[in-house]
Chains A and B, each alone.
Chain A
């Protein structure tokens, strides 16, 4: 749920990167930290463990200010993908405003994708969120690895779901990461604008919302 404090005119939104273990959730977040140049960007907080597996979560705060002085924050979290950390996953997922599901494109990982997606559905229900109305985007990562499941097959498989079309990505190379994020921002805007009238009350249009939060540091540099 969006956390709005009228006293500070502050709106905090939470986006969670979910998915099976080792599908590249943290890599997505690190790439966003590197590639994004939004109005405001905090430190990337990585709580890594010895073997580089996420034990708790990673977090990247970004933000922008509306014409009304609205302090809009977006906190991007990752969850630990390993099965045994389910209670941590649930705690991070609670009160989420949007979800990026990072799936693994390798044929051997399709079962794990399905299990993780089932776990997401289950945990969303447990924390009182509705998967059908929650802004969500599904990314198939690791497209750079040879022998991945072909995109048409994946697109067809997911064609009937509300999350079609899928976004293809290679987070390690930075490909598709911002695209994924922008798709999510678009879906997130619709929901948040309904409730907080971002455009009317705070002068933040859909285009501005997406552009100002997902501004690319390279294009910025090129433009400068």
Chain B
């Protein structure tokens, strides 16, 4: 049956075995054998109706009455058979439709669940990205605010100190000349000679002190005015060479500096700041070598330059004391120093890094405590 409601045929209602058995039973009840068939076998057959539909024809039997009665009995039986069939078919149809509907809903639910999971993942990813951005921005904001305040302070201090240190230095030199002139006029007694020599030493030490103050002030000025540069063409090799000379002077030419300098093209830059940077790095290296001298003997500084693609690389490497790991994150912080108070400003590496950045380059520092330090500067050729 196509639909549960289609009119059933005799074959739908009874199997061949059931039909044979029914015929057998009916025949036993009647005086002559009775046959129930789907098609009309002859003129004496009577129709068997179900639901206004002729489902079969009954023939045989002793007489019309027997046939009619048997047909009525069959119709009565058919109703119950059909009832069951209808119910079973409808139930089957309804269950299938219900199951298909459930499956459809299940699919839709799965699809929607997948969609929401994807959405949730995307949201989580976006949140994570935003959190990273916020953290980074906060960090940058904090650092830039700190550096700005430190820079303003340094600029103020440098400005205030610069004038007095200027006339102190100049006055001290004049005073030393006066002492020399006065000394010539003094009587030659040992006491006075000692006194005069001591006076001279005092003045010389004061002049040294004043010039160190002037150096610090100059560092501070470089640090705080890194952006106000007058760029010219610079010869990096000559800047490095002069910085090495300055450092050697400070260490009485006792430093062992290995030079491996390549031919370099001139680049656009601020010569005094670059020189300052090289000096700072070399001074650090010299200090490190000296600090390690008691353990490792005289150390060695390697200065190497080379051209790599569109940039100049400068490597300043020492086999000195190195930087302890716990200090490494702080080495670029302004005013961080591992030296005793008074011997360093704590601005050397800060100034160096800012200068290199101001030239569009990079400064990379690798260090291991007890092994040494290597600083790699990369400056673009432009």
Interface of A with B (CB < 8 Å)? 12, 14, 40, 42-43, 45, 47, 55-57, 59, 61-63, 73, 75, 77, 85, 87-88, 90-92, 95
Query: What does DSSP make chain A's interface, helix, strand, loop or mixed?
Result: strand
Chain B residues positioned under 8 Å from A55 (CB to CB): 87
Known: A43-B51, A56-B87, A59-B86. 11 other contacts (CB 8 A): A45-B82, A47-B87, A56-B86, A56-B90, A57-B86, A57-B90, A87-B101, A90-B94, A90-B97, A91-B90, A92-B90
Chain A residues positioned under 8 Å from B95 (CB to CB): 87
Q: Are A91 and B86 in contact (CB under 8 A)?
A: no
B76, closest chain A residue (CB)? A43
B84, closest chain A residue (CB)? A47
Q: Are A91 and B52 in contact (CB under 8 A)?
A: no
Q: Are A56 and B5 in contact (CB under 8 A)?
A: no
Q: If the complex has contacts A47-B83, A47-B86, A56-B86, are A61 and B101 also in contact, measured as CB distance less than 8 A?
A: no
Q: Are A40 and B90 in contact (CB under 8 A)?
A: no
Question: Is B4's beta carbon under 8 Å from chain A?
Answer: yes
Cα A73 to Cα B101 in complex, Å, equals 32
Chain A residues positioned under 8 Å from B49 (CB to CB): 42
Interface of B with A (CB < 8 Å)? 3-5, 7, 49-52, 79, 82-83, 86-87, 90-91, 93-95, 97-98, 101
Q: Are A61 and B52 in contact (CB under 8 A)?
A: yes
Min CB distance B140 to A, Å, is 60
B78, closest chain A residue (CB)? A43
Cα A84 to Cα B75 in complex, Å, equals 34
Q: If the complex has contacts A87-B98, A90-B94, A90-B97, are A61 and B87 also in contact, measured as CB distance less than 8 A?
A: no
Chain A residues positioned under 8 Å from B3 (CB to CB): 95
Q: Are B79 and A45 in contact (CB under 8 A)?
A: yes
Q: Are A45 and B98 in contact (CB under 8 A)?
A: no
Q: Are B97 and A87 in contact (CB under 8 A)?
A: yes
Most buried by A among B7, B51, B86: B51
Chain B residues positioned under 8 Å from A57 (CB to CB): 86, 90
Q: Are B94 and A40 in contact (CB under 8 A)?
A: no
A46, closest chain B residue (CB)? B83
Name 12 interchain pairs, CB-CB below 8 A, sorted by A.
Answer: A12-B7, A14-B5, A40-B52, A42-B50, A42-B52, A45-B83, A45-B86, A47-B87, A57-B86, A57-B90, A59-B86, A91-B4
